[in-house]
Amino acid sequence: MDERERLIEIMKSEELNSKQLSLELGVSAGTISNILSGRNKPSLDFLQNVANHFPFISPTWLFLGFGDKYIDGYVPSKSQLKTVHNDAIVEMRQSHQPTKDKVLVAAPSTSTRSIQKIMIFYSDGTFEER
């Protein structure tokens, strides 16, 4: 799946058409049209804009195309979902437009999962892996 297809996935999940997306991102409708048609590939600045606007989308998935689409703990918008966590059902609701200061907190887990890799993306277009 390339960047164009991932952008289409975001538009579908957020129920946005190309005009709505261009308004939300503050870019021209032509920019979106050229990316969606395959005429142009999205620039790094454009992808960073998408990542900043949709902070619940995994940057690894958005930039590199692998891993989960959503960051851990995010529940897709416009719905109330039930998730099973440690044999308890927890109802979670996420607003459609998360703010940058909103923090998602996961319930304590007894699993043996551990962090394997962290990707840090900087505003100058560079990134580092830890």
pLDDT in tens, 80-114: 333 333 333 333 333 344 444 444 455 555 556 67
pLDDT at 124: 80
Q: Domains in the chain and their CATH numbers?
A: 3-72 (1.10.260.40)
β-partners of residue 88 are 85
Task: Please give the helix or strand (H or E) that residue 3 lies within, else none.
Answer: helix 3-13
Give the pLDDT confidence of 9-27 residue by residue, as tens digits: 999 989 999 999 999 999 9
Q: How far is CA 80 from its chain centroid?
A: 18
